[in-house]
Amino acid sequence: MDWMYFLELAVNGALAGLMYALVAIGIVLIYKSSSVPNLAQGALTMVGPYLVLAFAGQVGLSMWVAIPLAMLSMFVLGVAIERIALRRLAGQPIVMILMMTLGLDIFLRATALTFWGGSGRNMAIGISDAPLFVGPLLVNRAYAIGAAVTLVLFAISVFFFRTRMGVVLRAIADDYTASWSVGISVERGVALSWALSAVAATAAGVLWGSVQTVDQSLSLLLLKGITVGVLGGLDSIGGALLAGLLLGILENVASGYLDPLLGGGTRELVVAAVLILTIMVRPHGLFGRHDIERI
């Protein structure tokens, strides 16, 4: 067994996993505040970088103006989705809410492709392709920067949850009715969590877009985001971070060794297997609240 190879796979996997956590945080935020499983997070992750490219390419702004501008637009989009689509479905059976988020996913994806086309575009945010060696290990520079940005965003979110608005969000996540009765506007809190997760999706999309290209495949991050979310516990933001690390390492190492044996494409398989096993063995995830009903 080649330990260097193993370690390299593990390190790169861990860095990529942190970027999966960024997708998962969006799902967790919304689930925590409103118990809505957001299956449109993949589409949001795809629409974000398309918006950045639209601002940068078609309007001709600098990348560093375009990204905040896109985040602002995504903030508005998140609020709009909650206000128009999800609020009216409150209290309906969960299958309709799931279907609504799937419908949003299809609609957003198709809209982005209708306006901007399906061919892959480059997201140049100035990360060089030069190899980065940490000791003897070859690390993907884009992954490393992405992971660093994720950690910074996570730290910011920790501080955010200590502000007044963050406390409001925590209260809503903890108990819907109780926060309502003390005068917290639950609707606004839920809308804010949608907006924040749309912003997180933009960040994740821009980072992944700079690693690969910006095209339809960005929406496939949904499966990874969901797996990370479930593995960490759907209502635990810290859990998402750790689960991202775990899934990233597992996926990269397993596919590194299995791909030559099984003829490729095992990445998705490993992720799906982790999702199934998590649900079968420990449905509330590593850090989730244990109130899953089983019969």
Partner 1 sequence: MLYRRAGIFHTSYAHDRALFPIPFERRAMWALLAVALAAPWIFSSLALSSYIRPWLIWTSAVLGLNLVLGWAGQFHFGYAAIMGMGAYASVHAARNGIPWEIAVVLGGLTATGVGVVFAFAALRVKGLYLALSTLAMQFVMDWVISHVPAISGGVSATLQAPPMKLLGQAITSEVGTYYVVLAWTVAVTVFMLNLRRSALGRALVAVREKDYAAAVIGVQAFRYKLVAFAASAFIGGVSGAMLIFGFYHAVTPEQFAVNVSIEVLAMVIVGGLGSIIGSFFGTAFILLLPGQMNELISAIARAVGADIGVETLAHIPYMIYGASIIAVLLIEPMGLGKLYGNIRNYLMVWPFGYVRK
Q: Which residues bind partner 1 (CB under 8 A)?
A: 37, 84-85, 88-89, 92-96, 98-100, 102-111, 113-114, 117-118, 223, 226-227, 230, 262-263, 265-266, 268-269, 271-273, 275-276, 279-280, 283, 292-295
Q: What is the rounded CA–CA span in Å between residue 161 and residue 175?
A: 16
Tell me the chain's radius of gyration from C-alpha atoms: 19
The helix/strand/coil state of 62 is coil
Nearer to partner 1, 30 or 147 (CB): 30
Query: What residue spans of 35-126 are helical by DSSP H?
Result: 41-53, 63-81, 94-116
Q: At what angle do helices 63-81 and 186-211 cross, to 10 degrees?
A: 140
Nearer to partner 1, 2 or 293 (CB): 293
State phi, psi for 116 to the nearest 5 degrees: -115, 0
Coil/strand/helix, residue 137: strand
Q: With respect to partner 1, which residue has the nearer C-beta, 4 or 262? A: 262
Q: Which residue has the tokens 């003897």?
A: 136
- Cβ-proximal residues to 91 (8 Å cutoff; 6+ apart), any chain: none
Q: What is the largest CA-CA distance in the chain?
A: 61
**Closer CB to partner 1, residue 146 or residue 244?**
244
Burial of residue 279 (CB within 10 Å: 0-12, 13-18, 19+) is middle
Backbone angles phi, psi at 101, to 5 degrees: -70, -35
Asked if residues 21 and 152 have their Cβ atoms less than 8 Å apart, the reply is no
Provide the terminal-to-terminal Cα distance of the chain, rounded to the nearest Å: 44
For 5, 13, 14, 86, 264, the CA distances from 1, given in Å and listed in that order, are: 9, 18, 20, 51, 20
